[in-house]
Amino acid sequence: MKHVKQGLSHLILLCSISIVLSCNNNSGNSAVENKLDTVLTGTVTAELTDAPAVPKPLNYTSPKKVTVQLDVIEKVMKISDSTEYTFWTFGGHVPGKFIRVRQGDLVDFTLHNMPDSKLSHNIDLHAVTGPGGGADATATAPGQSSHFQFRALNPGLFVYHCATGPVGMHIANGMYGLILVEPQSGMAKVDKEYYIMQGDFYTKGKFEAPGLQDFDMDKAIAEHPDYVLFNGRVRSTTGKNALTANVGETVRLYVGNGGPNLVSSFHVIGEIFNKVYMESGSEINRNVQTTLIPAGGSTMVEMKMEVPGVYNLVDHAIFRAFNKGALAQIKVSGDENPAVFQKLK
């Protein structure tokens, strides 16, 4: 009996080892397969927001089917106070709607191109695992819709953009936005979340030349932008439109860079990032002054606001900030904090 028991336990041990081994043989895949086996627990429609707003943190803890519909809208908007530009947009603004889903969700995605669009458009979401990031499935003529599904396998903050030829032109006209895939454990709670996206623009006229300005292909190819902007407009996020926070609050910025050409040296004047989710991946860097955001990439930064005042967000390739528009602001209200900073007479 004892032998039988021992034999049995040996057998169990052997089995466990072989299971472990077989798991190790395809370790990456099995984790994914397990996730894909999970039964979806209902359907939700994703909350979509225009910058600088961010959808509310997700309150569910098991994968769902998430419905997302984005409308492609070609429209004339102000790029500066007295300058207009024909933008091509995901949802009517630049950048496009912020999408928030959770790792493991099945995203049911519809792209609708408005009937009065002149051109065909599609979407490549960097959060997609599959051909063209969805572009392959979404070539959409004016007035038509296209539909595909993808599984949000990897957590992170991902750029999406139009990938219809000529791709550079579609991106240069404002066709990009961000999709956040929250890790299964969720994002740590912070006091304020904002959405900022940088992009470079190329116009026939110089910076802030008045009137409706045409796209300039030569400047785009030469990578000589007239505008480098946060959220698609000079002064989109300054003065009365500045972001706000109170002393003592932790602010998280979801920052994307649509490009098409420039890499951003993202910096907040007078603050140090307590945390940088490097390139929005899983590595966290701390105590960072300036962080790089690749074109077609993103970052998540967190900072605790200690001292009241106006803080400028810039691309620290600094001519872009002061001569091309790459400047946004956070207004921090609250009591002075002389232990941290005080101006002396």
- With binding defined as CB under 8 A, does residue 136 bind another protein? yes
Q: For the chain, what's the residue count?
A: 345
Nearer to another protein, 146 or 280 (CB): 146
- With binding defined as CB under 8 A, does residue 77 bind another protein? no
User: Minimum CB separation from another protein for residue 84, in Å?
Assistant: 10
Nearer to another protein, 42 or 143 (CB): 143
User: Minimum CB separation from another protein for residue 253, in Å?
Assistant: 30
- With binding defined as CB under 8 A, does residue 7 bind another protein? no
**Interface stretch with another protein, choices 166-174, 295-303, 314-322, 330-338 (CB under 8 A):** 166-174
Q: How many residues make contact with another protein (CB under 8 A)? A: 35
Report phi then psi at 28, rounded to 5.
-60, -45
- With binding defined as CB under 8 A, does residue 137 bind another protein? yes
User: Minimum CB separation from another protein for residue 81, in Å?
Assistant: 20
- Residue 164 and residue 113: Cα distance in Å, rounded? 13
- Residue 208 and residue 80: Cα distance in Å, rounded? 6
- With binding defined as CB under 8 A, does residue 288 bind another protein? no
- With binding defined as CB under 8 A, does residue 131 bind another protein? yes
**Interface stretch with another protein, choices 33-41, 165-173, 191-199, 279-287 (CB under 8 A):** 165-173
**Interface stretch with another protein, choices 135-143, 234-242, 282-290, 310-318 (CB under 8 A):** 135-143
User: Minimum CB separation from another protein for residue 145, in Å?
Assistant: 11
- With binding defined as CB under 8 A, does residue 144 bind another protein? yes
Binding site for another protein (CB under 8 A): 74-76, 86, 115-116, 118-120, 122, 124, 131-132, 135-144, 146, 163-169, 214-215, 217, 221
